[in-house]
A and B are shown apart, each in its own frame.
Chain A
C-alpha cells in the first residue's frame, strides 16, 4: 500500500475544558478528493486547521509523507488553504494576491507572470489581473482564492466550506469546476462542508463527523447505501428509519411484517433500525404493495413529488414519486430486498467494517 500523504494518529484537540476532537485517526492518500462532512461544531474545520498548521493538537501526532509535522508552522507546510470567507488581501489587486506566495519565495518576475496567467486561466478569470478585490463578485473572489492557493503548487489543498456563501446555481457550477481542477492537477483536495449533497457529488472519499468523532468513512455510495447509524442515515439524504428485528440472516421484520433482505451476520432476533430511502419506495395499488400506507400530504418539488404517509403501525413514511397521489387514499408501498438497509444499534465503525467483510467473504464462498 502506498504511504498516505497525511496521517492523523490519535489526534485530540481541547480548548480548556471543551473537547473539540476526540482521538481522530485518519489517512489521506495522494491525488484523491476527500470531504469532511458534518454539521457545525462537529470538529471538521478543526481537522482542517490542524492540517494547515494553524492549530497544534493537544495530543496525538500528525504526519505528512511519514514526517511528524505537529510543530511545523503553516508557512513550511506544502499544504495551502482556501478560506471560508476567501481571505483575499483587500489592499492588493488580483495579480498581487495570486502572486503573493511566489513573491515571498523570490521567484523571477517572468515566472510569476506566467504562473499567474496560468492559474487565472484555470479558474476561468483570464485578464482579471488588474482588478481590485472589491470590484469582484463573490464567485469571482472565490476563484481568485483558489488560484492564489494553487499558485503555490501545494501537494494538498484544503478548502474550508468554500462554496457556502454562493447562490445555488453558482455553487453547482463551482462543484463541477473544483472536481475538474482536482482531477486535472492530480493533487489531493480536502474539502470541508456541511452540505451532504455537495459531499456526495464531489468526493472520492467522505468522512462523516459528529461531535468531534469520525462516525463513518467511505465512498459516497458506501455511505449513502450503508449508513452505520441513525445519525449518518439522517444526515446523508432523506431517510425513513423504522425500528425492526433481524429474525435470522436475510429476514427482517418491521411494521408488523417479515421481509426478505440482503443483510446478515447478526444475532437471531436482534433489534435493529431499518433504513429505506424515499427514492427507493414506489407507490402501487394496495394489493400489489409489500406494506399498506395512507397518504397524509404531498408537496411538489419540481422533478418529483414529496409524499408523506403512515402505515397501520403509525410509522411515518417519506416517498419520492414522479406521479401525484391522492391525499387520504390507501396505497401499497413496494421496495426490493436490496433497498432495505439494516443498522445495528451502537455498532462501532470497526465492527461494522468487520461484519461487512465477513459476510462478503461468506457470500463469495457461497457463490463458488
Chain B
C-alpha cells in the first residue's frame, strides 16, 4: 500500500526527468552524429578534434571560465565570511540575491552604460585626468561582468556552509590554542569546503556556456563554448556541429563535478 503510493508520487519527477533531461541529451548525442543532410557521420567529432580553431576555442573557454571562477571565489569567500558574522546576516544575503532577479541582459546593458566610451567610468577617468580608455570589448570587461553575474551563486553556498558551521568548533579551536587566524585557516576554511565546491560547480559550468555577454561586452573577441553552440544553431544552421560542442560541454560538466566532488565520503559531521 505505502509502496504503491510512493511510486505514484514519484511519477511526475521521473516524467520530468525523462522529458526534459534524458530525452534532450539523447537527441543531442544523436544529432551530433548526423551531418547537414541527416545522415550518420563521425565528421563532426573529426572536425572538432582535428581543427586548431575549435580546440583553441575550447581551451580559451575553459581558461576564461577558470579565471572568472577564481575571481568570483576570491571576492565571494571573504564577503560570505564577513556577512555570516554580521548581525543581520539574512538581510545582507537578501541584498546579494536581489540582483539575480533582474534579467541578465538588462544587467549587461547597464554595464555598457558604465564601460562605454562616454560611459560613467570613462567620465570619471577623464575627470581625474587619465583620459578615456577602451574598456568595452576587452577580455577584462568580459571577465568583470561575468564575475559580477556569478558572484551571488558563489556567495550563497559558501554563506550557508559558514552559517551552518557549529560555533563550538570555532570555540574548540581557540580553546586548544589557535589564534583567530589559525582558527580561520585550520578549521573554518576546511569545514566550508563543501560550500566552496558547490559554488565552483555553480559558477564554472554556466561561465563555460555564457553567450550573450561575450557578444555584448566581449565584442565576440572571447568565444566561449556557449557562443559557438549558439552560432552553429542560429547562424550557420549546422545543428550537428552545434550538438557535438554541446556533448563536449556535457563532458566538461561531468569532469568538473568529478574534480570538485566530496572526496572524504562521510567526512561530514
Contacts and interface: CB of A to CB of B under 8 A. Distances in A.
A126 interface: no
Contacts of B193: 91
B12 interface: no
Contact of B169 (A53, A79, A87): A87
Given A75-B178, A91-B190, A91-B264, A81 B171 contact: yes
A75 B177 contact: yes
A83 B172 contact: yes
A74 to B, nearest CB: 4
A89 B169 contact: yes
Contact of B191 (A80, A90, A104, A152): A90
Nearest to B174: A74
Interface in B157-180: 166, 168-169, 171-179
A48 to B, nearest CB: 11
A70 B133 CA distance: 57
Interface in A102-128: 104-105
- Give the one of B166, B174, B177, B190 with max A CB within 10 A: B177
Contact of A134 (B168, B172, B190, B269): B269
Contacts of B186: 100, 104
A101 interface: yes
A199 B45 CA distance: 75
B182 interface: yes
A52 interface: yes
Given A83-B171, A91-B191, A104 B269 contact: no
A85 interface: yes
A75 B267 contact: no
B175 A81 contact: yes
6 nearest CB pairs, A to B: A101-B176, A90-B269, A87-B172, A87-B168, A74-B174, A81-B175
25 contacts: A52-B171, A54-B174, A74-B175, A75-B174, A75-B177, A81-B172, A81-B175, A83-B172, A84-B168, A85-B168, A87-B168, A87-B169, A87-B172, A90-B267, A91-B264, A91-B267, A101-B176, A104-B176, A104-B177, A104-B182, A132-B266, A133-B269, A134-B269, A148-B176, A152-B176
